[in-house]
């Protein structure tokens, strides 16, 4: 008796491939991101479905990106307690102005991200503000993982592997927005914390647990790049990263008279710099 032949692939012909692709409509594999975002089944409390502009769940080891209008609020939620949202921000129409983590820490006299913190560019302007935080476990000091580090730790760090590095995923997100690897500065990360001990050593504090969220408000039109990968200091030997929920909706930018505008002299100056720039361009 001969060896049984394998059944023909359902995608062996163009007709079969088309039928297979169309059969995916409405399945989880086809559902992310939700388009239009207004069909997302769980808008944040107080947010009308019609105000949603971005809604998806990003699995561990994956990335996403979007250009958001000024005043848009972006809510990130760690669904399992194992997500780590590495974030980069660029001004949408002039990507040479981008988030500067050193100035974000230095100008505001605070190395620990949280509610009320401003994400600054190297021009002293506000790209986004943190308006809500239930996690308290974030990091503006370490950056994301690299190809070499993941290859040493997990055996591979390429985007197609089972252990992609954050910088490699950022490169893909950048290319889809007309950016190059040279446009990728150090990132900040949310939901996996780092603290500096009295002796100067870096201490990984991990997650606050499932369901923690952080909400950012875009203070200019920004290109958002997100990579959901394990934190570089996560001590676990396996590549562990849980689902990240990403939901954005229309709101309004911070304005004079808002508590955040006047919370600190350095922040007020950054908001004034931002308003001056936008006013000169006829955008505010």
CB atoms within 10 A of CB 44: 17
Closest to 191 in 3D by CA, of 82, 29, 73: 82
Dump pLDDT digits (tens) for 258-269: 999 999 999 999
The per-residue pLDDT for 284 is 87
* Structure confidence by residue, pLDDT tens digits, 157-210: 999 999 999 999 999 999 999 999 999 999 999 999 999 999 999 999 999 999
pTM of the entire structure? 0.91
If you search the block for the tokens 């730790």, which residue do you land on? 153
pLDDT digit string (tens) for 13-71? 776 667 655 665 555 544 679 999 999 999 999 999 999 999 999 999 999 999 999 99
- pLDDT for 1 equals 54
**Cis before residue 215, ω within 30 degrees of 0?**
no
Kindly report the average pLDDT of the chain as a whole number.
Answer: 93
Residues of the chain above pLDDT 70, percent:
90
pLDDT at 3 over 70: no
Distances (CA, A) of 16 to 7, 20, 52, 63, 228: 14, 6, 36, 30, 34
Predicted confidence (pLDDT) at residue 76 exceeds the cutoff of 90 = yes
Distance CA 127, CA 111 (A): 17
Per-residue confidence (pLDDT) for residue 215, from 0 to 100: 98
Which structure tokens are listed for 124? 């002293």
Whether pLDDT at 238 is above 70? yes
State how far the Cα of 108 lies from the Cα of 203, in Å rounded to an integer. Answer: 22
Domain ranges of the chain: 51-280
Query: For residues 119 and 265, what is the distance between their CA atoms, to the nearest angstrom?
Result: 15
- Among 73, 75, 117, 80, smallest CA distance to 99 is for 117
Calculate mean pLDDT across residues 204-221. Answer: 97
With a CB cutoff of 8 Å and minimum separation 6, the contacts of 14 are none
Residue 85 has pLDDT above 80, yes or no: yes
Query: How wide is the angle at C-alpha 133 spanned by C-alphas 127 and 134, nearest 5°?
Result: 160
Q: Where does the chain have alpha helices with state H?
A: 14-23, 101-106, 147-154, 166-175, 265-280
217 neighbors 73 (Cβ within 8 angstroms): yes
274-283 residue pLDDT tens: 999 999 999 9
Handedness of CA 185, 88, 169, 22 (dihedral sign): negative
């Amino acid at each position: 008796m001969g060896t049984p032949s394998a059944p023909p692939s359902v995608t062996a012909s163009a007709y079969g491939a088309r039928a297979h692709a169309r059969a995916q409509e409405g399945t989880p594999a086809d559902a992310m991101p939700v388009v239009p975002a207004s069909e997302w089944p769980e808008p944040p409390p107080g947010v009308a479905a019609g105000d949603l502009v971005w809604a998806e769940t990003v699995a561990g080891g994956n990335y996403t990106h979007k250009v958001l209008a000024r005043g848009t609020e972006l809510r990130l939620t760690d669904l399992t307690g194992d997500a780590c949202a590495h974030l980069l921000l660029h001004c949408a129409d002039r990507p040479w102005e981008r988030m500067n983590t050193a100035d974000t820490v230095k100008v505001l006299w605070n190395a620990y991200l949280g509610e009320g913190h401003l994400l600054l560019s190297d021009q002293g302007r506000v790209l986004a503000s943190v308006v809500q935080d239930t996690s308290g476990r974030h990091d503006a000091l370490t950056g994301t993982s690299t190809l070499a580090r993941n290859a040493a730790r997990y055996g591979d760090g390429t985007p197609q592997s089972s252990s992609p590095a954050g910088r490699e995923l950022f490169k893909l997100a950048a290319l889809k927005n007309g950016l190059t690897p040279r446009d990728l500065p150090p990132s900040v990360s949310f939901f996996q914390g780092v603290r500096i001990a009295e002796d100067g050593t870096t201490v990984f504090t991990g997650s606050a647990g499932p369901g923690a969220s952080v909400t950012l408000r875009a203070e200019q039109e920004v290109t958002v790049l997100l990579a959901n990968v394990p934190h570089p200091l996560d001590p676990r030997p396996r590549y562990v990263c849980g689902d990240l929920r990403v939901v954005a909706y229309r709101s309004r930018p911070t304005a004079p008279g808002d508590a955040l505008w006047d919370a600190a002299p350095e922040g007020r100056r950054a908001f004034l710099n931002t308003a001056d720039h936008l006013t000169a361009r006829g955008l505010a």
